Amino acid sequence: MAGSSSSLPPLCEKISYKNYFLRAVDLTILGLLFSLLLHRILLMKQSDNVCVVAFLCESFFTFVWLIITFIKWSPAEYKPYPDRLDERVHDLPSVDMFLTTADPVKEPPILVVNTVLSLLAVNYPANKLACYVSDDGCSPLTYFSLKEASKFAKIWVPFCKKYNVRVRAPFRYFLNRPAATESSEFSKDWDMMKREYEKLCRKVEDATGDSHWLDADDDFEAFSNTKPNDHSTIVKVVWENKGGVGDEKEVPHFVYISREKRPKYFHNYKAGAMNVLVRVSGLMTNAPYMLNVDCDMYVNEADVVRQAMCIFLQNSISNSNNCAFVQYPQDFYDSNADELAVLQSYIGRGVAGIQGSIYAGSGCLHTRRVMYGISLDDLEDDGRSLSSVATRNYLAEENLAREFGNSKEMVTSVVNALQRKSNPQHSSLTDFLEAAQEVGHCDYENQTSWGKTIGWLYGSTTEDVHTSLGIHSRGWTSSYISPDPPAFLGVMPSGGPEAMVQQRRWAAGLLEVLFNKRSPLIGVFFGKLRFRQSLAYLYILTWGLRSIPELFYCLLPAYCLLHTSALFPKGVYLGIIVTLVGMHCLYTLWEFMSLGFSIQSWFVSQSFWRIKSTCSWLFGIPDIILKFLGISETVFVVTKKTMPEIRSESESGKSQQEDDCPNQNSGKFEFDGSFYFLPGTFIIFVNLAALVGFSVDLLQQLSYSHGGSSSGMAEACGCVLVVMLFHPFLMGMFEKGKYGIPLSTLSIAAFLAVLFVVFSLGKLVY
């Protein structure tokens, strides 16, 4: 394994991004927020409801900023040096790579195929890799596509390695033709590969419409008479790397799994799928490290595994094996996620500088032992072997079966994993098919610790954050690396119904974690969660709750304008709030521009943030209330992923920029008849009504007395700001088709807005 000489240069370095100026800005904003609260208290009159509501909202915003200041205090990340790996490490550890897919319609098989190909082709010894695909859709089409992909892989992987291709997902690689100066051998190979890839696409496409191949091939028998939610376990070894000679030895093991599903069982969505992947891979290859990606997140940098290994192995060289996982940022090749990029860059690096990055569900390498539930305290001082107490606890035969389930083979593999031994080399993957069937059963996990303390944790639709919290609460740290170019790229739904569904699921899932027994509020007292780390968790776990003050704050200016009361009292208070808004705008704008994003992207993101919190996160709250009342469970609705068309330059005639952002739409927001768009439409109606009322008043005053009073001006500015932020709804009122707000939503929102206006004006009577 790793050479121990410490005179050699390290495999990675921790880079710290401390910035005193930014700290000063964060503290100034915090100071302004506190003085704002103080003024509210001083100005508060008895029974001034507006003032109380505004105070509560502002307290929440201050609390959020306080957390942000804590998180951002000492940002850091790791810089790996993969070039040093070969001279220092003679025998690289194995890695099992997991990919999950759930629905062949929302997640087109050709997209899954591309991600799989990019995994199979990573720059790492092929005999140290195994790729496992979990298909919750139990789709013969997905299986068929993967089989075809494995044939293509036999020419694709050697091609990538021969020419040191960087982007190893064909659909992205073939977007750009190589420069004319490249050798003619390469050009020939390139053309041949492109033709073969197009053939693969056609095969998958043809199979999509027509299913005669299903009956013709015995291999698909397992899929007959199955439904996605009702079938037995299917495990297929698509390709086994038996060494051998030539190109074939370049393709890693490749296994397809569709775990058993029965209508009366709850399947725990992605977390359940991940745990089956952990078990089946444990039986077959039992690698000490596990890489997991969503089906759309292809590898964009061939060295990803080597980079992460630099962190793990440097840890092991320096005897401080406390890093449980290495997380890469989630980057996207469409332009719908600029805001997420900024969030990861500032908040993400901040958290990385505390106890370590939060696991984000994809683009992460985990250590198998940690996933089997051990704590940092269970290791000896050398950071390798289990302590004698832990050995007694974990390795006792009866405990093992109780915790990990009744499969003998599984128990053996767990013992090996905990002691960092590999499974015996001589066996073939197919020898484990029977055991794999067993561990894929619905009731295998009954009465075991899977999902409770072992593996991916159950009980939340954001299983990633939940699992991450479990790991950090056991004292482990994690590392964050963000190479340039990005390590993984995926798709993000554009503004519209898909995004709303996804955001609502996130908000509900995060609240599930906030209110369960692993809550960071508890972890910091009873677990090994560091204080600032617990604040970092609080920051995201409270996204759903933030919707309430945001909603109120979008309505307050309009209410006050209609009610002719002051939301922003003149004098010091008004001065502070204007400074705050100005500073916050400049600060966030700087954050965007420093990462190369445009002013427009900043504005769209500010707008989308308000929309998602008031229109989507808001519905996460009833979701968890219903769950806690035992009325309904939260649901993991898979987001639709669209595969961009490949166009040759001559056909498309489009610019490089457009080719690189295949999902870029016209920048317009999409609507449908769902209730998500009701709050936004309501907000825009109410604010417009208030502004119209205010303008009429102002005109009247002007005509009577040649100079209106300035009362209400600050609130009117507030309304203008809200209208600007919700401008997609303003445009949606005049658009048709998918860009227009449906009449039903408009009518209900208008009705509610009238009630609101009457309510606000009604107060005048008293």
* Cα dihedral 265/269/275/276 (nearest 10): 60
484 included as an active-site residue = no
Our finding on whether 634 is near ligand UPG (CB under 6 A) is: no
107 sits near ligand UPG (criterion: CB under 6 A): yes
| 224 to 263: interface string for ligand UPG, x by CB under 6 A | ----------------------------------------
Task: Give backbone dihedrals phi and psi of 387, rounded to 5 degrees, phi first.
Answer: -70, 165
Minimum CB separation from ligand UPG for residue 274, in Å? Answer: 8
**Least CB distance to ligand UPG at residue 180 (A):** 39
Nearer residue to ligand UPG within complex by CB, 102 or 753: 102
Lay out the site mask for Mn ion across 258-297 (x = CB under 5 A, - = otherwise): ------------------------------------x---
- 467 contacts ligand UPG (rule: CB under 6 A): no
Backbone angles phi, psi at 324, to 5 degrees: -85, -35
Subset of 312-341 contacting Mn ion (CB under 5 A): none
Task: Give me the 128-157 binding string for ligand UPG, x by CB under 6 A, dash otherwise.
Answer: ------x-x---------------------
Q: Which of 273, 457, 725, 741 binds ligand UPG (CB under 6 A)?
A: 273
Neighbours of 526 (CB within 10 A): 9
Q: Which is nearer to ligand UPG, 128 or 518 (CB)?
A: 518
Q: Binders of ligand UPG: how many residues, by CB under 6 A?
A: 21
* Using rule CB under 6 A, residue 498 touches ligand UPG: no
- Return the number of the residue (146 or 691) whose C-beta is nearest ligand UPG: 146
Q: Which does 270 bind (CB under 5 to 8 A by kind): Mn ion, ligand UPG, none?
A: ligand UPG
Distance of alpha carbon 70 from alpha carbon 539, whole angstroms = 10
Strand 289-294 to 95-101 pairing: parallel
| Identity of the residue, 258 or 534, whose beta carbon is nearer to ligand UPG in the bound complex | 258
636 binds, among ligand UPG, Mn ion, none (CB under 5 to 8 A by kind): ligand UPG
- 464 a catalytic residue: yes
d(CA 19, CA 16): 9
100 sits near ligand UPG (criterion: CB under 6 A) = yes
Q: Exactly one of 26, 103, 136, 296 is catalytic; which is it? A: 136
Count helices and strands in the chain by DSSP H and E runs: 31, 13
How many residues are there in the chain?
Answer: 766
HSE-CB at 68 with a 13 A cutoff on CA atoms is 21
Long-range contacts of 631-635 (CB under 8 A, 24+ apart): 633/266, 634/460, 634/461, 634/505, 634/508, 634/509, 634/512, 635/461, 635/505
Residue tagged active-site, from 96, 331, 338, 464 = 464
CA angle 422, 425, 430 (to 5 degrees): 110
Question: What value does the CA radius of gyration of the chain take, rounded to a whole number of Å?
Answer: 28
By C-beta, is 98 or 289 nearer to ligand UPG? 98
Of 78, 269, 346, 669, which one interacts with ligand UPG (CB under 6 A)?
Answer: 269
Distance from first CA to last CA of the chain, Å, rounded? 81
Residue 295 interacts with ligand UPG (CB under 6 A)? yes
Chain centroid to Cα 161, Å, comes to 30
Interaction between residue 361 and ligand UPG (CB under 6 A): yes
- The distance of closest approach from Cβ of residue 184 to ligand UPG in the complex, given in angstroms and rounded to an integer, is 40
136, interface contact from Mn ion, ligand UPG, none, CB < 5-8 Å by kind: ligand UPG
Query: Taking a C-beta distance cutoff of 8 angstroms, is the pair 338, 592 a contact?
Result: yes
> Does 468 help bind ligand UPG (rule: CB under 6 A)?
no
H-type alpha helices, 495-652: 497-514, 520-526, 531-541, 543-563, 572-594, 599-612, 618-628, 649-652
Active site residues: 136, 464
> Which residues form the interface with Mn ion (CB under 5 A)?
294
